[in-house]
Amino acid sequence: MRYKKAMETKKINVMQKLLKANDTIAEGIRKDLRKKNIFFVNLMSSPGSGKTTLIEETVKKLGKKIKIIEGDIQTTLDAERLQKLGVQAYQINTGPFGGDCHLEASWIQTAIDELGTDGMELLFVENIGNLVCPAEFDVGAHLNVLLISVTEGEDKPLKYPLAFQVSQLCLVTKTDFLPLKNFSLEKLRENIKKVNPACAVIEVSAQDGKGIDSWIAILKNKPGMK
């Protein structure tokens, strides 16, 4: 029993050291990009909530001074999809290294070094799709954005509070499905406010364009850069 307790304590200490080292790198990324006037946005969500589609719509609106870091366990499908728009996209696959379900700041720094910052005004990280691990690791972004689609249900903020607590903005996606779903936007907003009263909420749809202009306005304003 004492041995088990000692092992648990060691695991906690190791994790704390890992997170501290990660946070140090993340803060360095944030400061360096701020000096270069590059706005860095970290997109988090469950798989299939629309992160890649949102980036596509953003590129169409803002042009090609955008670079993207794609995170997935396997495949380069999303990076290839975005490269067809004429933007640079760097793929990070965690599968070959154990299949981590999040991205870490050191990997982001490597990706930035590979992409280069010349001509870059906006950097996106499309984090690995889940509502748990990505929320635990600071990647150095100026703005954390959480996407939740109307197909996921209103209870996700209560089930996965940390993801909402570390995000300054929540985008409710696929609102064009609302007529087909028994989904309450009011209840979702209420649950988000319960876990993070400061989190802004915008409803968006890539299909009919709802909320996209508001999203673009936020990016142009660069919150968190000052």
Give every CB contact of residue 160 below 8 A, 6+ residues apart in sequence. Answer: 131, 132, 135
Instruction: State the pLDDT at residue 12.
Output: 53
Architecture of the domain delimited by 2-221: 3-Layer(aba) Sandwich (3.40)
pLDDT of 64 > 90? The answer is no
pLDDT of 88 > 90? The answer is yes
Instruction: State the pLDDT at residue 194.
Output: 98
Query: Mean pLDDT throughout 197-225?
Result: 94
Instruction: State the pLDDT at residue 5.
Output: 56
Query: Mean pLDDT throughout 66-95?
Result: 95
Going by pLDDT thresholds of 50, 70 and 90, the confidence category of residue 167 is: very high
Instruction: State the pLDDT at residue 6.
Output: 52
pLDDT of 226 > 80? The answer is no
Query: Mean pLDDT throughout 89-103?
Result: 89
Q: Which of these ranges, 144-153, 174-183, 184-193, 195-204, has the smallest mean pLDDT?
A: 174-183
Instruction: State the pLDDT at residue 91.
Output: 96
| pTM recorded for the entire structure | 0.91
**Mean pLDDT over each residue of the chain, to the nearest integer:** 92
128-145 pLDDT, tens per residue?
A: 999 999 999 999 999 999
- Give the integer Cα–Cα distance in Å for 209 and 57: 9
pLDDT of 95 > 90? The answer is no
- The fraction of the chain above a pLDDT of 90, given in percent, is 80
Each domain of the chain, given as residue ranges in start order, spans 2-221
5-43 pLDDT, tens per residue?
A: 554 554 555 567 778 999 999 999 999 999 999 999 999
